[in-house]
Structure 1
Amino acid sequence: MAHSNIWNSHPRGYGKGSRECRVCTHPAGLIRKYGLNICRQCFRENSAAIGFTKVLTANLADYEFALAPNMRILCVAEKHAIAKSVAQILSDNHFQTRETGDQFTRNLEFTYRFPNNSMAQIVMTSVRGHLCTTDFPEQYRKWSSCAPVQLFELNIEKKPSADLAALERNLAHEARNANQVMIWTDCDREGENIGAEVAQVCRRSNQQIVVTRARFSSVTPAQVDAVDARMELDLRVGASFTRFQTLSFQDWFPDLKDGVVSYGPCQFPTLGFVVDQYRRVENFIPESFWKLEVKHNKDGVDANFVWQRGHLFDQLACLVIYEACMETPGPTFRINRVKSKPTSKYKPLPLTTVELQKSGSRLLSMSSDRIMTVAEGLYTQGWISYPRTETDQFDQNYDLMGLVQRQTHNGQWGRFAQRLVEGGFRNPRRGKENDQAHPPIHPVMHTENLAGDEKKVYEYITRRFLACCSEDAKGDQTDIDAVIHTETFKATGLIIKERNYLDVYPYDKWSGTVLPNFEEGEEFIPTEFMMKHGATLSPTTITESQLIALMHKNGIGTDATIADHIKTIINREYVVRHKQGNEFQFTPSTLGIALVEGYDNIGLDMNAQRPPPGPGQGPRNNGVRNAGGGGGGGGGFGGGGGGGGGGGAGGGGGSNGFQSFAPKPTAPIVNQQQQGFPSRQGGAVMNAFRENLGSGNSTDSKPRCACGLVAKEVASSKNNGRLFFACSKHQSIACKFFAWADEVNPAANSGPWTAGGGQPQAPQHYGNNSYSKSSTSRSGSSSKGSSSKSTTKRASKSGITAVRIGKKSRPI
């Protein structure tokens, strides 16, 4: 069979949709792979003509597709910058550009010759991240359309994003004219999911199109499902809790009528870290300690000896030891050991996104979101590599020397780069992380035309890269032990011999300390021997670099989203970012503390805050159901009956835990025991919030409305604060239930915000950054509370272990 007869039998050469062999018209034993539609016999006879190469065995399963004449391949990258870079490399910068209908994306077309001399027409295009979004059905998108708890059970729609419609149309159009689509998205979970979306669009347009994956990876169902589950959990949990919080708070605080009190599975643990550290600062009590210090001057050189015990919190015990030492004749110290050894200060690991944000906020005095914005800009301009990566090791075959060579012309670090080229180059350290998608962040091209923040970030990335390619700093360390009575004192000296990477990396400090020459067995009477008093220092509020490190360690967000989560809690006014020295620090607002304390008080098990599911961690639907529903009957949010279930609200009764707060107590609560954070002296807003949450007691004595839910108590504004019961749903969907509280429960009093039985006091509004230092308890009396020096560990409701120093518990 002639070559042309096979491929010209169909307008595009593939016989799309045919049910018989295109050569002999026999319907049996067709090979449909790659859209061939050819029987096995004809395949064997014509394999050379149709562009197939036989490998390993004669088995048809081992034939590998080479290229057919007039092959047209559609390549799809995740971003236009990557598509352009690939096209430049494959086409040697000879490609034509076509419009796509999207202002940020172009089709790049060129011809490519494969190693076997087969020619193919390549169209390189791209998307802009995910093509599809998830949302609830149209009729449930309004906040008043259903109770928030119903969002856990509704179906989720995954549909194309409206603003990416042009990209979808472009993919469909190009796929109709292509024989094969090659997916070039990142080889991580998100990239796999985006690749699956691209393949779905292409297959809808051309059912016979062959889908392949660059870098010999595969679009695996487990990775696709993991991302889909994460997106569904984010939507269900975020939407339901945000509606719940906002609608509930708007009933109590008029200032929030036009605001949103949002919730997110990553946003809330981030806020929890800030509040935890703030608690440590608030509860800190300084403690006095005593220590012994020895100084000696020999040959004009001072030596400072440090007590091996560190310090003691018992003044009398320290004094006894000091007196015993002073009773020694002299008092004479004896050199017990002199040891010298070579030491090194390790060069930094290759740069990851998390490390860029941590170091940048600490060293460059820039916020994490600003650092990422600047880095993205440098990447788009072609100065640095892709700035979102978890990899801290370079591939063995990476051309690092070529990158170093490009920096030799720089006026600041060019000489150091030249030293590396001339023999000072050393392979970078290999970290433990490799996302198989992107190399560590490094400079790609040299430039000296940057200014402001761009210059600072580019300089840090370049100096870090050159430091990675240099050698560790080297020195000699000398340890000297001096003994008197039963006590040992130690002095440490350091002589730096080779600075190496420190010459180009000023962000690391390593200073030498010179010691006098001592010999073992030598005795001396110190120049100064004193017992000194000191006190423990209070911790500071959490810094941005510390917050990023905690988020990364506990799997809160990804390297690409950490900065966004921090920015969200700032924009929501849950925390305040302020500059202390060269670093940014965070302090929680009253609203932020109230939210964290509120969830802690109602005993809610935040299952949804576990890290996103990964491949092989069980069926997707099970994970979504377990995280959202909480398991047992009456549990979670809104289940009727007692017991609370697996995440029930309030502990005492799981009824209506989601639709409204637990009913307000009928009397002020003094020194109420809390399950998580220690009590804090707050303002009226904090008190009102705690009282809205209630003490977790049974709600069986409260009436139920026509919806079958426990009614909420409301103070009347026209009847001297008389309490009444109403439906706990939002007023837009609430039933018409009404009952006076004193008629249902004669013991009901004038309400939780009533001071001395008078008119109800309106709750104070949330201040942006206001903190009340009042020590007045709910009963109106003043108390200092009890003191404790114990340090306790607490497993927070988000599943994150945190340390809390319970120095002092204060009344509310």
Structure 2
Amino acid sequence: MKILNIAEKPSVAKSISNILSKEISKRNSLNKYIPTYSFTYNSDSYIFTSVLGHITQKDFSDTRNWADFDPKELFDMPIETKIIDSSIKRNLLSLSQGVDKIIIWTDCDREGEFIANEIKELVGHRSVKRARFFAISRGEITNALNNLVEINLKEAEAVEARIELDLRIGAAFTRIQTLALKGSVKSYGSCQVPTLGFIVERNEAIKDFISEDFSSLNVSIKKEKENLFTWQRGNFFDKNFVNLFYDILNKENLQVVSIENKAVKKFKPYPLRTVELQKKCASALKISPDRAMKIAEDLYNKGYISYPRTETDSFPPNFNYNQILTKLSSEELYKYFKDFDYPRKGKNNDLAHLPIYPLKEGSNLTFEEKKIYDLVVQYFLACCSKDAVGEETKVKLMFLGKFDECFYLEGLKIFERNYLNVFNFDKWEEKKISDFQLNEIFYSPLTNKPADRKYTLKKVEGKTTPPLPMTESELISLMDKNGIGTDATIHEHIKKIQVRNYACKRGVFIFPTKLGSCLIKGYKSLNLDFSTPKLRAELEIKLKKIEKGELCYKEVIKEEIRIYKGFFITLQERIEEFKRLFQEEESNFYDNSNYNDSNNDDDNNNENDNSYKKNTKNKKITNKNIKEIKSNDNNKLIRGKEIKNNSENITNNIKENINNVSIDNLIKNKRIRCNCGKTPKNAIVKKESVNSGKTFIFCGNTPKKCKFFLWADEIESYQTVNDIKIDVKCDCGFEPKAEVSRSENNKGKIYLKCKKLYKPCKFFSWMN
């Protein structure tokens, strides 16, 4: 029998071929990135090829310019399906000729099911089966071959619904926002917006936070060490109240009224699922979720770990733990592994995948691959270990006067570390306290009793602190809790809002940009329910019901379109108000991105560091600044350059900063834009030439800079749309708007056009 096998990606085709046969012939295919493997398995002739993920994409059949029609039409406009790469299509059709059976080896999630159905519809073969596997290991692959199944069309339909909704809703709102706000594309995504909403909400909480003074009391008793007892009442914002109690209690004696000892456990982790993998990579390994998933997928394709996209955190009863533990016996951590205990059963189960676990020893791995592989190993060994065991002691004191005020002290002893010996991501430290006796008395510091029999009553004062900026780990938890995205897509949404300049990272923290913050606040001001997770979470529930056959995917599409079209109409009717609100928020934006926590900042992992450089250009230069710079003996960084403490360099840099401030103000006042439509940057010619020391402005849109260039002394005379006095009307009878041409031939020239967003007239005129 001749069997064609099709994997989702070339690396999987290669790995599975190597498992099934040791004698493989490799040849090129009609796509240069996709090799074809041939071998014999169980007397059958096997051909193994692959695709490169999705083979089709959906798009609107209407290709008119954005401004030529109402974006609302996109909710109902016909959609067509196109082949992404014709060479992949030709390769599949060519190889499928004359075969007896086709087996599809796509990933075991609903996206994989959709791709499998794409392949089936393309080849049109009568005998197409699906191999369902959870790891690239000999056992899983042979089990999949022996238990071939049909493609799950319900899962494919859920993806079909999601793709169409993302296209229609995203395109409609992206176009209306971009046309209204001008400049760069203001994209909309029903997952990225609530994701951004969490970040903006945290930023606003920090902005609106008002610190308050609080007071409390502690009792200190010194035996062989100081023991600090905490007031049961906690903290108070009324300092006079605390002072009153201090004056009263300081005269009274204390007695130990109870000593409680109780056994405690620190529970081992649940088996590893994707969300926890991403959170630990972001917080502990300083690897972004997007990067972590790419590495995890590489480890999966190479057969080191099981499928890394899973919501399941419990193993089935028949799972072979001994087989995996035996393969890990050469790992360094394994020598700390002691007594086996069955893993805990979590509450999450996607009914399709197992938790993430290692498949073999981790040799020949890169540095980052080894870090993530070790994390997976630690989770598996920890969940197969026993819980850590300890004893908690709580000592309670009471004043023996008019007020029965209580203070308490807690200590911890650890008897058995167990899983903590193989798991570095949990901390459980002993807290040693002195021995106390029940009914033991401690006297007021005002008495003449021996010092070791007296206590000290201390006033404690502090200030409430604002919440920390959002971390990626927190953001992942919020998205998971609120149903934003899936285990397989959460990292993509976090990456997307950074790529689109709605948010940016500094160290472990993630902040909203001005653009991102203004969009979210604009939605909220119009009472559009975009920035909350409710809508997307409800859609995810509906998609899961489609998978189970409880809902029809076409009905879900129709219902979601109805909801979002209503929001669209509201935005369209109030678009001028939205623009005004957006501009107001721009001027009031609270930029918290210069927050720096030296304990957490990790410059080596800063994927968006350029977005976070401290902007020194707009800082006012004063005599005080100059004195501060001159008085500092250390080297300083001024505008990214290290300078020694000598007056010449300092003076030059201060002049440069002053020069930059004035130039930036000129650019801002003249509203100069480069050919990309963005505010240009400025710099000084450093190279020895006739222009040495001159300032110029240029496009700062790296890496794709346009050719805009202007000397600083030309800025004053540079004509912009701000300078134009318009005394003509367009064909609609309205005053036209002025724009700057960005074309190569007419770069910088100003022209007039109709200002209407929807169905503008064809009026056009160059300015003299």
TM-score (norm. length: structure 2): 0.68
SS at match of 1:388: coil
Note if contact 1:715-1:724 (Cα within 8 Å) is conserved in structure 2: no
The answer for the alignment partner of 2:389 in structure 1 is 474
Alignment equivalent of 1:378, drawn from 284, 289, 299:
299
The answer for the alignment partner of 2:519 in structure 1 is 595
The answer for the alignment partner of 1:506 in structure 2 is 424
| Residues 117-147 of structure 1, C-alpha deviations (whole Å, 9 max, x = no match) | xx6444444333222211111534x434532
SS at match of 1:446: coil
The answer for the alignment partner of 2:646 in structure 1 is none
CA distance in 2, matches of 1:318, 1:608: 48
The answer for the alignment partner of 1:359 in structure 2 is 280
- Please show how residues 313-462 of structure 1 align to structure 2 within 5 Å: 313-327=237-251, 331-410=252-331, 412-416=332-336, 419-420=337-338, 424-462=339-377
Note if contact 2:213-2:461 (Cα within 8 Å) is conserved in structure 1: yes
| 2:555 counterpart of 1:622 | yes
Letter in 2 for 1:375: A
Relative to structure 1, the CA distance from residue 715 to residue 319 in structure 2 (aligned partners, 3 Å threshold; closer, same or farther) is: same
The answer for the alignment partner of 2:181 in structure 1 is 249
The answer for the alignment partner of 2:165 in structure 1 is 233
Letter in 2 for 1:352: R
- Please show how residues 552-631 of structure 1 align to structure 2 within 5 Å: 552-579=480-507, 584-606=508-530, 609-610=536-537, 611-612=539-540, 613-614=542-543, 615=546, 616=549, 618-630=551-563
Relative to structure 1, the CA distance from residue 133 to residue 217 in structure 2 (aligned partners, 3 Å threshold; closer, same or farther) is: same
| Residues 564-602 of structure 1, C-alpha deviations (whole Å, 9 max, x = no match) | 2222222222222112xxxx1122221111111112222
CA distance in 2, matches of 1:337, 1:95: 75
- Give 1:724 deviation, angstroms: 6.0
The answer for the alignment partner of 1:548 in structure 2 is 476
CA distance in 1, matches of 2:735, 2:194: 34
SS at match of 2:6: strand
| Residues 438-458 of structure 1, C-alpha deviations (whole Å, 9 max, x = no match) | 433333332354454333333
- Give 1:104 deviation, angstroms: 4.1
SS at match of 1:630: helix
Note if contact 1:74-1:175 (Cα within 8 Å) is conserved in structure 2: yes
The answer for the alignment partner of 2:404 in structure 1 is 486
Note if contact 2:21-2:40 (Cα within 8 Å) is conserved in structure 1: no
| Residues 369-392 of structure 1, C-alpha deviations (whole Å, 9 max, x = no match) | 232233333334443333332222
SS at match of 2:235: coil
Letter in 1 for 2:72: V
| Residues 57-92 of structure 1, C-alpha deviations (whole Å, 9 max, x = no match) | xxxxxxxxxxxxxx4444433334444444444x35
| 2:761 counterpart of 1:735 | yes
CA distance in 2, matches of 1:513, 1:533: 24
The answer for the alignment partner of 1:101 in structure 2 is 30
- Give 1:429 deviation, angstroms: 2.4
Letter in 1 for 2:343: P
CA distance in 1, matches of 2:81, 2:527: 34
| 2:433 counterpart of 1:515 | yes
The answer for the alignment partner of 1:57 in structure 2 is none
- Give 1:631 deviation, angstroms: 7.7
Letter in 1 for 2:265: S
Relative to structure 1, the CA distance from residue 380 to residue 355 in structure 2 (aligned partners, 3 Å threshold; closer, same or farther) is: same
| Residues 752-781 of structure 1, C-alpha deviations (whole Å, 9 max, x = no match) | xxxxxxxxxxxxxxxxxxxxxxxxxxxxxx
| 2:390 counterpart of 1:465 | no
RMSD: 3.6
Note if contact 1:361-1:368 (Cα within 8 Å) is conserved in structure 2: yes
Identity percentage of aligned residues: 37
The answer for the alignment partner of 1:157 in structure 2 is 80
Which one has the bigger helix percentage?
A: 2
Relative to structure 1, the CA distance from residue 216 to residue 407 in structure 2 (aligned partners, 3 Å threshold; closer, same or farther) is: closer
Letter in 1 for 2:296: A
CA distance in 1, matches of 2:73, 2:582: 33
| Residues 616-660 of structure 1, C-alpha deviations (whole Å, 9 max, x = no match) | 46333332233233389xx4435xxxxxxxxx23xxxxx645xx5
Letter in 1 for 2:386: E
The answer for the alignment partner of 2:448 in structure 1 is none
Note if contact 1:137-1:157 (Cα within 8 Å) is conserved in structure 2: yes
CA distance in 2, matches of 1:112, 1:573: 51
| 2:54 counterpart of 1:130 | yes
- Give 1:518 deviation, angstroms: 2.3
The answer for the alignment partner of 1:644 in structure 2 is none
- Give 1:287 deviation, angstroms: 1.3
The answer for the alignment partner of 2:87 in structure 1 is 166
| 2:71 counterpart of 1:139 | no
- Give 1:213 deviation, angstroms: 5.9
Relative to structure 1, the CA distance from residue 519 to residue 446 in structure 2 (aligned partners, 3 Å threshold; closer, same or farther) is: same
The answer for the alignment partner of 1:524 in structure 2 is 442
CA distance in 2, matches of 1:620, 1:529: 68
| 2:236 counterpart of 1:312 | yes
CA distance in 1, matches of 2:324, 2:587: 54
| Residues 306-360 of structure 1, C-alpha deviations (whole Å, 9 max, x = no match) | 2222212222333333344334xxx222222222122111222222222122111
| Residues 418-468 of structure 1, C-alpha deviations (whole Å, 9 max, x = no match) | x44xxx222332222233444333333323544543333333332333222
CA distance in 1, matches of 2:386, 2:40: 45
CA distance in 2, matches of 1:239, 1:226: 20
CA distance in 2, matches of 1:439, 1:559: 13
Relative to structure 1, the CA distance from residue 337 to residue 724 in structure 2 (aligned partners, 3 Å threshold; closer, same or farther) is: farther
CA distance in 2, matches of 1:480, 1:429: 33
Number of equivalent positions:
583
CA distance in 2, matches of 1:721, 1:609: 47
Letter in 1 for 2:189: G
Letter in 1 for 2:568: F
Structure number with larger C-alpha Rg: 1
Relative to structure 1, the CA distance from residue 194 to residue 448 in structure 2 (aligned partners, 3 Å threshold; closer, same or farther) is: closer
Relative to structure 1, the CA distance from residue 374 to residue 679 in structure 2 (aligned partners, 3 Å threshold; closer, same or farther) is: same
SS at match of 2:470: coil
- Please show how residues 33-182 of structure 1 align to structure 2 within 5 Å: 71-89=1-19, 91=20, 93-113=22-42, 120-140=44-64, 142-162=65-85, 165-182=86-103
CA distance in 1, matches of 2:290, 2:37: 32
Relative to structure 1, the CA distance from residue 210 to residue 274 in structure 2 (aligned partners, 3 Å threshold; closer, same or farther) is: closer
- Give 1:218 deviation, angstroms: 4.3
CA distance in 1, matches of 2:95, 2:243: 85
Letter in 2 for 1:166: S
Note if contact 2:324-2:358 (Cα within 8 Å) is conserved in structure 1: yes
Letter in 1 for 2:376: I
The answer for the alignment partner of 1:275 in structure 2 is 200
Letter in 1 for 2:757: H
SS at match of 1:396: coil
Note if contact 1:338-1:479 (Cα within 8 Å) is conserved in structure 2: yes
SS at match of 1:480: strand
Relative to structure 1, the CA distance from residue 447 to residue 623 in structure 2 (aligned partners, 3 Å threshold; closer, same or farther) is: closer
SS at match of 2:576: coil
- Give 1:482 deviation, angstroms: 1.7
Letter in 2 for 1:444: L
Relative to structure 1, the CA distance from residue 719 to residue 92 in structure 2 (aligned partners, 3 Å threshold; closer, same or farther) is: closer
TM-score (norm. length: structure 1): 0.65
Letter in 1 for 2:725: K
Query: Where does the alignment leave 5 or more consecutive residues of structure 2 unmatched?
Result: 133-146, 444-453, 592-617, 619-664, 672-720, 737-753
Letter in 1 for 2:9: K
Letter in 2 for 1:548: I
Note if contact 2:518-2:582 (Cα within 8 Å) is conserved in structure 1: no
